[in-house]
Amino acid sequence: MLYEDNGRLIYRYDSETVAIEPWGKDGLRVRAAKSSPMPDENWALLKPERICRAKIAFIDGISTIQNGKITALVNEDGRIAFLNEKGETLLEEYARNRKKYAYAPGVVQSQDFASALNIEARQFKPILGGGHSLVARFESDPNERIYGMGQYQQPFLNLKGCELELAQRNSQASVPFAYSSRGYGFLWNNPAIGRVAFARNMTIWASESAAAMDYWITAGDSPSEILGNYALAAGSAPMMPDWAMGFWQCKLRYQTQDELLDVAREYKRRGVPLSVIVIDFFHWTRQGEWKFDPIYWPDPKAMADELRAMGVELMVSVWPTVDHKSENYREMEEKGYLVQVDRGQRIAMTFHGNTIHFDPTNPEARAYVWSKLKSNYCKCGIKAFWLDEAEPEYEFYDFDAYRYYLGPNLKIGNIYPLMYAKMVSDGMKQEGRAETLSLVRCAWAGSQRYGALVWSGDVDSSFRSLRNQLAAGLNMGLSGIAWWTTDIGGFHGGNPDDPQFRECFVRWFQFGAFSPVMRLHGDREPHSAPLGSSGGGLCGSGAANEIWSYGEEVYEICVKFINIRVKLQPYIKEIMRQASKSGAPAMRTLFFEFPQDERCWEVEDQYMFGPDILVAPVLHEKIASRGVYLPTGSDWLDAWTGEEHPGGVVAVKETPISRIPLLIRKGSNVSLV
């Protein structure tokens, strides 16, 4: 049965109800449920600012609903197809059963067939005891290119042919928005643990536990238009604070207040611009107490004041873990502020204590933890937080073992990092602070609207890992997460005295200078011993990780690229204004800027930093030169030599250790040297 209900197109058969409604600019939201009322959670989506008026029609057994540039067609058996304004099929449900499917002639090209396979497009499998697991199947175009989906530690920019876990892990962020080269964007609006397969024969989205199927689809004529539609539907980043646009210094880990201040003073003495310095984990007494250990950090306010007088912002690490011995544990347990476990002990990690995470899906728990941050950090003048362990990280990723205020982990677990970032964003707004930026080690769809600066997690210190970060950063941008960064040099390992690592470090540093945020971090070798036997003294530290730690040659290269970053600050500010306004990423694939150039869809080792700077990072060791494809539609100037090149050609550029290929779109006002 097909009918209209309050501006929505409804299909109902047996226990299934499907609702299709206009949602935002050129977008449609599709929800389906079985044997229960339709859930009303919006998850990643924002309510549209204005009421969308859809055109609904019923013709010869075919029902249509149109919102701007996208139309859904539903036949009498409930199979759905989506068309653009030219009448071309963008996406259609997959079904192989005994029914014959045909859409109105001349409206959509679709096969008219009957099959004995008996495979449905929408599959709800009951979970004994309640709920359903869910599979949604769509037809696949083998030549389609798929981008976005957050970050996965792999070198593939084009995700066609990939199967991805829809789950959060350290260095993996599931942000289930996919951009298709066919001209649509697709949001799987479901925070459940699951998977997606962009296979040649079909596309499959699956959730292990879900009350309903829920997705949003939009159409547009360019990548920027589709990302803009998504930004309107799910939100965009606020304006990035000026202090975040320069160079950040960080390491695992500054052990004392004096050590951190000495590093900041040394940057000042050398005249090297420094925007942010970061205090890493275990500056606290115990996990879940969210305050400085006074033995090693005796006067945080004086420290923050001195840094601010030098023009340096202070950021502190916050973990969501709560030690069973924490002064707050018993109260948080009694009030239901901690993650529950469905079996075993209430322990999720054992790093320096038996710990469980607080539950940010509970609004009272968010308010409680924020009150601690406000009392122990904000009152010292600290307004920037590093929300680490935000997946959250578990010692064992048994997703079915944990339960939150909003439901079982299997059903809603991927939303944890969004709620974590929301805690700080809401708290800052309550304090009257317009600027909100939190460095977060994970994200979900919509995290961007809470000021989440996502970094790529604890990745390996190698060229192979560097190559993965390029793909991760570009796909994060196409997932709506415009603020992204990575640990320059990688996190795990790397000795500053090792010539091989120095080469990798330099190439990563150069890449970092043209990332949305330029942040140096890492756990370098060899380690130093812990300072004490309690509180902040329990953890040792990695080796020195300041730019002068790598020898004079590397130091001079680093200073050069930091100064380039400073010179670019007005340009970066404009990029961030665009990100806030339209959702355009700072790091952009070539095809985002030049969608009409077919070659730009094939190039995966270059990118645009904003609209005018083409970056060709060096991603392999001992490279003396590399080819750089220059998109059509513009002439290009070599940033180092001023040499001019036409678009549509491959230019071979030398790559001495002191520079990477950088080309400027001719006619822009950008200058790097």
Could you say which DSSP state residue 428 is in? H
Dihedral sign for Cα atoms in the order 648, 654, 660, 665: negative
Q: Which of 120, 225, 313, 458 is catalytic?
A: 458
Q: Print burial letters for 545-556: b (CB count within 10 Å at least 16), e (below 16).
A: bbbbebeeebbe
Question: CB under 8 Å to 33, separation ≥6 — which residues?
Answer: 16, 17, 39, 211, 212, 213
Is 360 within 8 Å of 320 (Cβ atoms)? yes
* Residue matched to tokens 């006074």: 294
For residues 11 and 16, what is the distance between their CA atoms, to the nearest angstrom?
8
Is 558 within 8 Å of 273 (Cβ atoms)? no
458 is catalytic: yes
14 is catalytic: no
Q: Which of 313, 388, 597, 605 is catalytic?
A: 388
- Amino acid identity for residue 28 in this structure: L
642 exposure class (CB count in 10 Å sphere: 0-12, 13-18, 19+):
exposed
* Residue matched to tokens 């509970």: 362
Q: Which of 26, 225, 391, 393 is catalytic?
A: 391
Beta-bridge mates of residue 636? 645, 665
Instruction: State the number of CA atoms in the 13 A half-sphere of 495 facing the CB.
Output: 8
Question: CB under 8 Å to 303, separation ≥6 — which residues?
Answer: 257, 260, 261, 297, 314, 380
* Residue matched to tokens 């695992």: 252
359 is catalytic: no
**C-alpha angle with apex 68: 67 to 72, nearest 5 degrees?**
45
Is 147 within 8 Å of 161 (Cβ atoms)? no
- 123: tokens are 């599959």
Is 448 within 8 Å of 418 (Cβ atoms)? no
User: Which residues are known catalytic residues?
Assistant: 388, 391, 458
